[in-house]
Every structure is written in C-alpha cells, then in structure tokens.
Amino acid sequence: MFDDVRKSVEKIASKHKVEEYEMVLSRHDFTSFSIEQRDLTVSSEVGVSSLGLRLLKKGKLTYASTTVADEAALEHVISAALTNLQPTALKVFARIPTGLSWDDADEKITDLVTRPRRLRDLLSATVSETWERGNGKFERLNGNGGVGLAEEWVFTSGSAEPSYRRGTGFNAYIDLDSRDFEILVKTRLPKPREIETLGAKVARRLPKRSAKPSDLGLKGKETDVVLHPFCLASMFSNVIAEHIYATSKLSGLSRFKAGRKHASSVVTIADDGAYHEFISRGPTDEEGTKTRRNVLFDKGVFKTFAYDAETAVLDRTESTGNGMRRPVLAEESHEAPVRPTLRGLVMEPGGIKLKDMIKDVKKGIMLKFLLGIHTADKVSGSFSNTAYLSYVIENGKLTSTAEPGTWAMRGNALGLLKTIDAVSTERFLTGSSLLPWVKTRLYVG
C-alpha cells in the first residue's frame, strides 16, 4: 500500500514542482463486541486508511489530507493545497534514519481480528462471571471488548525509507450501573483469566451505598483526595500538557520555566512514545524525528518543553520527537495540524502502597473521573468539576460511591502538582499512560 501511495504522491509533487513532501499513511482493521447485559453485538472496521500530507514549496508550507488515496483524489487535494502556501520556519522535513521498522504485532490478536469467536467466548465468560460474583450488587452491565491491527508509515521525500510500525491492541471494558468500571488495555493478548475476571473485580469492590459531601460534613471544605491514574491522566492531557507544549512557551502562555520547581519532590514523570506497552508507540513522531524518552519533571523540577520541528526552530533548539497530528473534537488525526503533543506519560512509582495511602485518609474521596475536565481553564489551570465514578473514603476505607452530581471538586491542576504528598507503588496502564495513584488536597464546592 505504501509504495503505491508514495509513487502517486511523488508523481503529483514533481508535476507541481513541490520541493519537499512529508506523508503519514495509516491503515487499520478492528473487530469489537459491544456488551449490553448478556448480549454481545459484533462490529468491524476493514481497511480503514488515511493520509496526511505536508508540502514545502518556495520556502512555504501547506497541508493536505484525504482518506481516498487514489491518484485523482491526491491530485485534487494537492493542487488545492498549493494555492495556499503559508510562511514557515521549516526549511526542510526530517531525514528519517534507516532501519526504523517496528513490527511487534501479536499474531494471536491479528488472528482474532478476522476470526473473533475466541474473543466472543472470553468476553462471554467475563459477563457470566460478573453476574455470578455480583450477587445482586448491580442491575446493569455494559461494556465492550475489541482487537485491532494497525500499520503506520511516516515518510519524507529526503529520506531513503519510511519509518514503519505494525502493532496490535486489545481492550476490554466493563461498567456496572454507571457506578464503576474496569478497563484492560494491552498490546498483546492478555491471559484469559485477566479478561474473564475483569468485571468480577468491579462487582467485588462495588459498595451498596452512595454518599454526598454533606454526609461527611465536607461541603465547602478542603479535603484529602486520592487521584486515580485515570483522573491524573486526564488532568495532564486536558490542562497540564498545555503548559508543557512549546507553542504555549512561545506565545507566553506557559506557567512553566525549565529548571524551576513546579511540582512536588515526589513527582518524576517522563514522556515516552516508545514505551513497550503503549498502543500508540512508534519509532518516530509523525514528522520522522526519532522517538525518545523526555523527562518532564525530575523530582518536581521542570526539565523540558515538548517540541515539534517547527517550534524547535523558532526556539533555537531541537525537536523532542513530539511532532504529532493532534486533532480537536470532530477532526481525525490525519487532517489535524502537526504540533507538539505528549506521546505517553510514564510516572515513577512512589514508596507507599495504595491501601496504605487510603488508610491514611480519615475523610476524603478517591477521584476516578472529573466530569467535564476538558472544560477546565487551560490558561490558569483552574477547574471546578463534578466527581464521577469515584469512591468516598471514611476512616481509611472505601465505604461508598460518590453520589452523582453532588461532589463539585474545585482546584487548580498546576497548583495540584505542587501539593502531591504521596505516590503509590502500584501503577495503572491506560494504554497511553502508566501512572500511579497520588494523594493531594482539593476543595469540595
């Protein structure tokens, strides 16, 4: 597939006297089962491909994208793109080192994509076991489970060969009564028992009652909060990351300065797009810059901003391998502009077990999700959002779920980094981050 598309792009680019081009071509197949009570419904995606292009001509840059990679469609988008060349700090695209070809697909998953009967049986088993172990603690079970195979080529016209990655992914998700859920995301097929026991794990820990802040006398007060890795990941991706991106530094909107302490000493966190368990790992970023591990905070000290090739030129430094097509809302990634983007967060574990962290809390909450955290003020870091799928902590125990719509949590995501006073030894893999549970304090509105 790559060779055909490359030839077409090269032919059209040469016809239009394009000096350099860069292409990101991807293709995936995916099969999943959605779960509703005991019903499983199958769906699939076959040969879904997309192409994102950047072109340099007369020192100016333009974008084009399409999902239809035949010659006529390519001519259509490329000729339109060349009518609107924009000034750029980029002189050339990356020269991709040779030999950057990763094939770490799990053939067991590849097989399941086209023959998903075994996947169905594993998911059916988790559904049965969840109902059995649930023992009347829940009424509704929803979820899904899927397997996928993806390929991506990143190529620039000045390179001898593309960087290439072929990888697989597995995910399963079980939600009980919209009160709690469990998720399993892996690049290789998990052991059958890991899948089969997924829902039962949630059922076992689900308390029967829920509580409001007023039940604990916490309304309007500051309280201890244990942030679940999911919540920490969403704080990073929605708010904190904005201050790490070189674009924010260049426009004077970042609150961070390299070499300054912006987080508590217990926080050491890196961005690692090559981490072996991340679904989206790859040998290069989407500009062809080799992927590397960048330490963002070392014992609380902010170390580096995330750069793509253009912001690196503008800031007279080198790209950190964070040039990715980061989409917003209805946009697909191939049509998004290249800009600095975190690839995958890996935080160093701490020295306290999660159960001991919870034991230390007299009254508080374990936050798994903050509803609408994407609406937080990205400039100041302030947020006030409602707790969802969270647990109330009383006298060191998870005693109830947080009553929906009643726990309005108020704080500042940037300030929160400084008030983290404990980090768990355990970490949780979300598929694109590996994070521990952390303890801090927030206001209950």
Partner 1 sequence: MKTTEIKKILDSAFRCAGEFFEYADVLYERVEKTEAKTIGSQTFITPLSVKARVQMRFLKNGKKVSIKVGQMAEADLCQAVERAKGLWRSAKKPRKPVQFAPIPNTRRKNYAIKPEFDLEDSDPRKVIDAVLKGVGGIARSFEKKYAHKGVKINPEVWFYAQDEEKIIADSEGIFKRQTMPRTFLQVHSKVKSKNGKSTQTRVRIADIKGLEALLEPKTTGWKLNRNTRARIRDWMGKACELVEGITLSAAQISKIDHFVLDYNTLGVFIHEALGHNFEADAVKAGESGVADAEGKPRGEVAAHTVDILDGPAVDAKTRRPDMNTGFGTELIDDEGVPVKVKTLARKGKVKGFIHNRETAAYFGKDANGGAFSQLGDSQICRMSNTYMVPATEEIVYKDLRSLIKGISYGIILQGTLGGAVSKDGMSSSIQIGYLIEDGKITKTVNPANFSGKSMYALRFVDGCAGDIRIDDVGFCGKGGQHRPVGDGGPRWTRIKANEYVQLSIQGE
Among residue numbers 272 through 331, which ones bind partner 1 (CB under 8 A)? 310-311, 328-330
Whether the Cβ atoms of residue 158 and residue 91 lie closer than 8 Å to each other: no
Q: State the nearest-atom distance from the C-beta of 36 to partner 1, in Å.
A: 5
Which residues, 6 or more positions from 145, have their beta carbon under 8 angstroms from its beta carbon? 32, 33, 35, 119, 122, 123, 126, 170, 171, 172, 173, 195
Q: Is residue 4 at the binding interface for partner 1, with CB under 8 A as the rule?
A: no
CA pair distance 328, 237, nearest whole angstrom:
12
Of the candidate residues 170, 181, 236, 388, the single one contacting partner 1 (CB under 8 A): 388
Query: What values do phi and psi take at 311, rounded to 5?
Result: -65, -30
DSSP state of 97: P
Q: What does each C-alpha distance from 383 to 222, 240, 364, 388 come to in angstroms?
A: 15, 12, 18, 15
Residues 167-186 that bind partner 1 (CB under 8 A): 177-178
Nearest residue (CB) to partner 1, 211 versus 409: 409
Nearest residue (CB) to partner 1, 8 versus 385: 385
Nearest residue (CB) to partner 1, 22 versus 272: 22
Nearest residue (CB) to partner 1, 351 versus 372: 372
Residues 341-370 that bind partner 1 (CB under 8 A): 370
Binding mask 367-386 for partner 1 (x = CB under 8 A): ---xxx-xxxxxxx-xxxxx
Stretch that binds partner 1, among 7-15, 39-47, 183-191, 427-435 (CB under 8 A): 39-47
DSSP state of 284: B
Whether the Cβ atoms of residue 169 and residue 431 lie closer than 8 Å to each other: yes
Of the candidate residues 7, 11, 15, 41, the single one contacting partner 1 (CB under 8 A): 41
Q: Is residue 101 at the binding interface for partner 1, with CB under 8 A as the rule?
A: no
Of the candidate residues 59, 217, 351, 405, the single one contacting partner 1 (CB under 8 A): 405
Q: What does each C-alpha distance from 21 to 94, 289, 312 come to in angstroms?
A: 10, 15, 19
How many CA atoms are closer than 13 Å to the CA of 142, on its beta-carbon side? 5
Whether the Cβ atoms of residue 25 and residue 51 lie closer than 8 Å to each other: yes
Whether the Cβ atoms of residue 409 and residue 440 lie closer than 8 Å to each other: no
Q: State the nearest-atom distance from the C-beta of 114 to partner 1, in Å.
A: 7
Of the candidate residues 11, 91, 140, 362, the single one contacting partner 1 (CB under 8 A): 140
Q: State the nearest-atom distance from the C-beta of 159 to partner 1, in Å.
A: 23
CA pair distance 340, 309, nearest whole angstrom:
9
CA pair distance 386, 34, nearest whole angstrom:
27
Q: State the nearest-atom distance from the C-beta of 401 to partner 1, in Å.
A: 11
Of the candidate residues 128, 237, 280, 406, the single one contacting partner 1 (CB under 8 A): 406
Q: Is residue 73 at the binding interface for partner 1, with CB under 8 A as the rule?
A: yes
Binding mask 50-69 for partner 1 (x = CB under 8 A): x-----------xxxxxxx-
Q: State the nearest-atom distance from the C-beta of 210 to partner 1, in Å.
A: 9
Q: If we measure between CA atoms, which residue out of 138, 274, 116, 153 comes closest to residue 208?
A: 138
Q: State the nearest-atom distance from the C-beta of 276 to partner 1, in Å.
A: 25
CA pair distance 284, 198, nearest whole angstrom:
33
Of the candidate residues 208, 251, 259, 395, the single one contacting partner 1 (CB under 8 A): 251
Residues paired with 404 in a beta bridge: none
Q: State the nearest-atom distance from the C-beta of 259 to partner 1, in Å.
A: 21
Query: At 258, which helix (H) or strand (E)?
Result: none
Q: Is residue 409 at the binding interface for partner 1, with CB under 8 A as the rule?
A: yes
Q: State the nearest-atom distance from the C-beta of 395 to partner 1, in Å.
A: 24
Count of residues near partner 1 by CB under 8 A = 86
CA pair distance 383, 435, nearest whole angstrom:
21
Residues 120-139 that bind partner 1 (CB under 8 A): 120, 124, 139
Query: What values do phi and psi take at 89, rounded to 5?
Result: -85, -10
Q: State the nearest-atom distance from the C-beta of 348 to partner 1, in Å.
A: 30
Q: Is residue 108 at the binding interface for partner 1, with CB under 8 A as the rule?
A: no
